[in-house]
């Protein structure tokens, strides 16, 4: 079964396993027993035992099933937390470049935690709940220690009147794919509908059995879908209800990574780290326009001067790009070097690479290249196994997204 996994997926998981290796036993999500029952190959990932792939499915089959039908992902390893108090917006204004004061209630937005040099501590989805000073955050499992240290330090440093705490009694599931709505909606209490519930919205719904779940129309695949925060005690039953529909299959980490790569999404530790700014990562859209001209220093976010200089004066040395191979060859590896069009000068480095199941297994990837080499259509080379293979810089997402928007 493991032979059906691409080399890139194996490398990603090996890195995750080594980075989370410790003497402590691996944690288990509330769906662990269900994964085993479904024949999953379980692997270490960010300190958890997580499903890589399931029996009777190859990586490519899992990927394509999600693009065409619906896939169910266990993302309970990610940290759910709450930020509550009258100083919540001021605190978020300090640690992120996004205007969460202007975010409507019941909506979510991607952002990043910024260190004082403008580097990215972690990427996060932040949702405003029913009150303007009540937020929910979802962050990466592999950054729990760093995030906790950072958030507590920033709260102490600036004395914001708010409280941050993790939520440990809920599971997180993601139902992704074009048929997700038709699968989830019949499980809701009579009279509740998802028709006028759009991408980026978050709302409490009741299942037909009376269980209340927190649903956001979002995901990490580029497809329409939902992320659902469920009471831990109800998680396995809810997942089983979804899987009772033959249109749904359980999907593991291997396909999750290739789906996000096609969608042009960043993976922390690959495309993002504490040395990279949002501008270099080409996440300018998370820097709200209302946060770009702040004369008062106490209103500015961490790394404001560096980030705004990069944004306004285009002063940066590297930018994140997507690329496709223009000829056949082995997939680029994380750390593979990118060379100029003459094949002589190194101009960048690959951060993620894989065959693209949605594009007939053409090799694709993301990386960082020197300014000037980042324009779409630029022809460069990537070095794999000491050989050069031609690539073309392409617009991201590499595969078009299919979000359900107004």
CATH number, position 48? 3.30.1360.120
Burial profile 264-300: b = 16 or more Cβ within 10 angstroms, e = fewer: bbbbbbbbbeeebbbbbbbbeebbbeebeeeeeeeeb
Is the confidence at residue 209, as pLDDT, over 90? yes
User: Does the residue 333 lie in any domain?
Assistant: yes
The string of pLDDT tens digits covering residues 58-73 is 999 999 999 999 999 9
Residues 218 and 356 occupy one common structural domain = no
- pLDDT at residue number 352: 99
- For residues 66 and 209, membership in a common domain is answered with yes
State whether 64 and 202 are in the same domain.
yes
Query: pLDDT at residue 54 above 70?
Result: yes
Together in a domain, 247 and 326: no
The CATH number given to whatever domain includes residue 381 is: 2.40.30.110
Q: What is the pLDDT of residues 345-370, one digit of tens each?
A: 999 999 999 999 999 999 999 999 99
- pTM of this prediction? 0.94
How many domains is the chain partitioned into structurally?
2
Q: Is 117 marked as binding a ligand?
A: no
Q: Is residue 181 part of a domain?
A: yes
Torsion sign, CA atoms 303, 308, 313, 317 = positive
The least confident of 9-13, 62-66, 334-338 is: 9-13
Two structure tokens written together for 308: 């705004």
Range of the domain at 250: 31-75+170-263
Residues 6+ apart with CB under 8 A from 294: 300, 304
């Amino acid at each position: 079964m493991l032979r059906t996994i691409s080399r890139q997926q194996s490398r990603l998981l090996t890195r995750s396993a080594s980075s989370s290796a410790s003497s402590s036993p691996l944690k288990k999500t509330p769906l662990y027993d269900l994964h085993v029952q479904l024949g999953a190959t379980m692997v270490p990932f960010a300190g958890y035992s997580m499903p890589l792939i399931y029996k009777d499915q190859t990586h490519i089959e899992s990927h394509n099933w999600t693009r065409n039908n619906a896939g169910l992902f266990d993302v309970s390893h990610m940290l759910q937390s709450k930020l509550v108090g009258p100083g919540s917006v001021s605190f978020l204004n300090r640690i992120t470049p996004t205007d969460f004061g202007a975010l409507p209630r019941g909506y979510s937005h991607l952002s990043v935690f910024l260190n004082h040099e403008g580097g990215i501590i972690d990427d996060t989805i932040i949702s405003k709940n029913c009150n303007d000073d009540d937020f929910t955050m979802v962050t990466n499992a592999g950054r729990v220690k760093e995030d906790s240290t950072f958030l507590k330090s920033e709260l102490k440093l600036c004395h914001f009147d708010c409280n941050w705490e993790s939520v440990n009694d809920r599971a997180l599931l993601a139902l992704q794919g074009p048929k997700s709505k038709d699968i989830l909606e019949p499980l809701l209490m009579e009279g509740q509908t998802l028709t006028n519930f759009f991408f980026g919205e978050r709302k409490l719904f009741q299942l037909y059995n009376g269980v209340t779940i927190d649903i956001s129309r979002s995901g990490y695949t580029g497809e329409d879908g939902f992320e659902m925060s469920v009471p831990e005690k109800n998680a396995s039953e809810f997942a089983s209800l979804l899987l009772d529909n033959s249109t749904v299959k359980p999907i593991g980490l291997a396909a999750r990574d290739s789906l996000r790569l096609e969608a042009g999404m960043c993976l922390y530790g690959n495309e993002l780290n504490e040395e990279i700014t949002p501008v270099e990562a080409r996440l300018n859209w998370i820097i709200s326009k209302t946060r770009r001209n702040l004369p008062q220093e106490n209103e500015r976010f961490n790394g404001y001067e560096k980030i705004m200089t990069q944004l306004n004066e285009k002063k940066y040395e590297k930018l994140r790009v997507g690329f496709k191979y223009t000829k056949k060859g082995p997939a680029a590896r994380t750390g593979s070097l990118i060379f100029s069009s003459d094949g002589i000068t190194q101009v960048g480095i690959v951060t993620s690479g894989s065959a693209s199941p949605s594009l007939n297994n053409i090799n694709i990837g993301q990386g960082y290249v020197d300014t000037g080499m980042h324009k779409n259509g630029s022809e460069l080379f990537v070095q794999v196994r000491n050989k050069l293979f031609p690539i073309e810089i392409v617009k991201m997402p590499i595969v078009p997204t299919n979000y359900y928007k107004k």
